[in-house]
Chain A
Amino acid sequence: MAILEVKDIKKSFGKTEVLKGVSFSLNEGEVLSIIGSSGSGKTTLLRCINFLETADSGLITVDGDVIFDGADKSKKNAKETREKQLKIGLVFQQFNLFPQYNVLDNVTLAVKLQAKERPDYKQNKKQILAEIEEKALKLLADMGLSEKIHNYPCELSGGQQQRVSIARAMALEPKILFFDEPTSALDPELTGEILKVIRELAKTNMTMVIVTHEMTFAKEVSDYIVFMDNGVIAEEGKAQELISNPKTERLQAFLSKISD
């Protein structure tokens, strides 16, 4: 069964319809890449799934739970929304690390706040916090950041900052991790380290949705690719096939423009 189902998502800003009915689904452990030229609605789609925007209509299901239903107009309970939010994670193009916290605290802050709501928090506080820390250290080690845990974001390169933000998202153990052009804010020589980290995550069967302009990377790391154009999915398919053998003219044009 699909872990993520997105059905007929529509979203307008004022009079401009940015998403004109987008549907796709994703199986657990698979990687989906979303490609498409700038302005085609990729970021808006990710933001709608991650509650940063509210879609006008459509249905989103994660792991069988409806996290968004456009037909349900009742006022949303903030606590429930947060619980749904925690099922998924988002890595921003601009990292958005918390500047006043060091690397380790960036990764543990939200998890620790989350832990406070556990009924056994008061009794087992020490142990719970130690476990959170240990897990964060493990994640940061996986990201190659063990040396940097006490550094502040302003002391890190862009690539290191993005790796911290990936660790921060992973620390909440999301079922699906979304990336919005995770390498676009980086100097070209730093994109490699991020792509490597994402490849490693893919090997651990992390379910991921990646908006990217790195075609070679998308082709190699993803199971499935969706091509967005002007607010709709213009073409989709198995990664290798879609890139090597595009069927629509729009995708052909997009791919030839990118490879220039």
Chain B
Amino acid sequence: MQDYQSQKPIVLDILDAHRTMPGNLLPILHGIQDTLGYIPPAAVEDIAKALYLSKAEVHGVISFYHYFRTTPPGKHTIRICRAESCQAMNSKALENHAKQTLGVDFHETTSDEHFSLEPVYCLGNCACSPSITIDDEVHGRVTPEKFDQLLAACKGAK
């Protein structure tokens, strides 16, 4: 894990940029995660101080939302939709295939730190289920074969 001292200036900048914004905690957390890939636990103290909140309150918000993470993600994050429409198009098989291929379960990162696997509940791509995202890109009608191709393309493009 990275040393927080090198991340701290970034966190402080983000805090500063949102100082006067009403309801700024989520935008701040997004800002940090967008930049660093996760919210370093050590940042909680700085956030709490800047917003006049307790550390417990900040931590409570971070842990409430599925999207926020407190550990560094792999190079790419793969999200597999688990919701009903994708289930109706066999997403369970895809889910199993992905876990097996990557050798990880949900909320885990491969040992080469290449891929993090996360569940997601609907990507709004239900007209072309089953759906996954790799980073910000959505992919529809993903068969296990297509999954393998996408994975290979990711690895090729590293």
Do A and B share a complex?
Answer: no
- Give me the interface of A with B, judged by CB distance under 8 Å: none
The residues of B with any CB-CB pair to A shorter than 8 Å are: none
